[in-house]
Structure 1
């Protein structure tokens, strides 16, 4: 049901609801959903939390994932996703959009927009997708200062520290950085671009009791694992950050090719969501009913006096 007329609007902050989901024994599955419509579809499929990817937001704007988007750009997406589905949303905070004070501003802005959680990464600008080569890392102390700043600024936001160190500093370096970030106040750790089940298991073994996030992105350095497999390796959360965008972009590419080839969309109708299905997804008729219940047309009966 649409967020503005739901009877079950959340009464607790999103960060509190996110923590409660993590108290359960099963892994928390978070598909990417960077648009309100995607959030509604993911909720309908049964997901209880969502992920907002910087790469997905950047690509939607026609930009590469190089840290080019702004806090305001991200907040636009947070607001529509959080209010459409009313589910806790984990947001990609990139490098924090600057140093410690910028991180504090980001945390406050994300919370006000409705975010439940954020992850910060220990790269230097221009940052890259975690599964690409030649990433440049900030010092562990500088990243720890950002984590501490985020912790100081947050009210309820759940803070996840991401480390991209495995590629250049090995597992030892990534674990050492993770411990430093936990000391600085991180609630959980996100080891990016691990390349084998053995690495995932060993990272978890060296951080007992710590909530860990796994990234199951396609076309990267991590082999395909299921949510159940990540849970067995010791992970509390898993994201599929850009999968929805990749499927949608491929479908759009095929649609445009079909129009050019066939002179219209007649051969693609079977692959489309129907108008009725779209209206059901967005609650079109519920909004109509709400509008009718609030606004009644008043017909004047007499001419006004002069």
Structure 2
């Protein structure tokens, strides 16, 4: 059974934020901070594991394994990026079944051609709306937990078909049975407000730092009408900036012990070493 926390939060009508998780270090830090929902981001899980762009290169099998690892590591429920469903209708069915079995709480499926590209990069192409409608219907039918395992329908049509074209697609996806609507890469707060006002279903915002959309503070997003927002790039870009500074200081100044490092002893605890040490105390060989 899927974790009901996402459904419960949506039913409450209170806006909430969901951090993106790119690796298991970010997952355990999010555990410490205390989020009850996290987002398994395709772009950043691909970058962290393989050093590759989010361009449909990583396979369903590889991504499902990463999502399962995130579910195991995180204390929070996981919203998972399912790309295009990794192919046609049979692939969508297989992807939904696999992600649900892996323990995720919701799957996001988009209307790009397969293989897809990151929603804030050029050269994206979308499939006909009728094909995406069938994908959503298949995804909804494939899930076992009809109430708590949610299907998020994303359109990438804003750049190729304009705002009105993207809204026509979202309307079709809502009729097809999607639980949450996700118009990607809207270009202004005005567009965001118009999109949210047009539909009764929950609307998800993607706050992609450096992307096509503005990144207002959470209170503004709530006023606009979003149900929640994901922040897929936040931890990754923050970590990359901190790592670059530390490495530059090491190379140019020889500083190997800078101020502001995360506590090594605390990180050992977060990652589970205390359990290892307890095992050693109980079962390890003792000197006579």
Q: How high is the TM-score relative to the length of structure 2? A: 0.91
SS in 1 for 2:84: coil
Structure 2: runs of 5 or more not aligned: none
- Does 1:152 find its partner at 2:149? no
- Could you tell me how far apart the structure 1 residues matched to 2:88 and 2:9 are? 30
Q: Using a 3 Å threshold, how does the CA distance of structure 1 residues 14 and 291 change in structure 2: closer, same or farther?
A: farther
Q: Is the 8 A contact 2:36 2:75 kept in 1?
A: no
Q: 1:263, CA displacement in angstroms?
A: 4.3
- Does 1:250 find its partner at 2:241? yes
Q: Is the 8 A contact 2:21 2:45 kept in 1?
A: no
2:95 aligned partner: 106
- Could you tell me how far apart the structure 2 residues matched to 1:287 and 1:65 are? 36
Q: Is the 8 A contact 1:15 1:158 kept in 2?
A: no
- Could you tell me how far apart the structure 1 residues matched to 2:44 and 2:93 are? 23
Q: Using a 3 Å threshold, how does the CA distance of structure 1 residues 296 and 275 change in structure 2: closer, same or farther?
A: closer
SS in 2 for 1:228: helix
**RMSD of aligned C-alpha atoms?**
2.1
- Does 1:229 find its partner at 2:217? no
- Matched ranges for 1:40-59 at <5 A: 40-59=28-47
1:280 aligned partner: 269
Counterpart selection for 2:156 from 164, 167, 192: 164
Structure 1: runs of 5 or more not aligned: 1-12, 300-306
- Could you tell me how far apart the structure 1 residues matched to 2:240 and 2:63 are? 20
- Could you tell me how far apart the structure 2 residues matched to 1:290 and 1:233 are? 51
Q: 1:287, CA displacement in angstroms?
A: 4.4
Q: 1:115, CA displacement in angstroms?
A: 0.9
Q: Using a 3 Å threshold, how does the CA distance of structure 1 residues 200 and 57 change in structure 2: closer, same or farther?
A: same
Q: 1:121, CA displacement in angstroms?
A: 0.7
1:79 aligned partner: 68
SS in 2 for 1:21: helix
Q: 1:274, CA displacement in angstroms?
A: 2.3
Aligned pairs, number: 284
- Could you tell me how far apart the structure 1 residues matched to 2:161 and 2:73 are? 41
Q: Using a 3 Å threshold, how does the CA distance of structure 1 residues 272 and 210 change in structure 2: closer, same or farther?
A: same
1:3 aligned partner: none
1:31 aligned partner: 19
Q: Which moved more, 1:70-79 or 1:142-151?
A: 70-79
Q: Is the 8 A contact 1:35 1:80 kept in 2?
A: no
- Could you tell me how far apart the structure 1 residues matched to 2:121 and 2:22 are? 22
SS in 1 for 2:214: coil
Q: Using a 3 Å threshold, how does the CA distance of structure 1 residues 100 and 291 change in structure 2: closer, same or farther?
A: farther
Counterpart selection for 1:220 from 211, 219, 222: 211
- Does 1:132 find its partner at 2:121? yes
Larger radius of gyration: 1
Q: 1:132, CA displacement in angstroms?
A: 2.2
Q: How high is the TM-score relative to the length of structure 1? A: 0.86
Query: In the TM superposition, what whole-angstrom CA distance separates every residue of 1:188-247 from its partner, at most 9, and x where no partner exists?
Result: 11010111111011111111x211100111111111211221111111110000111111
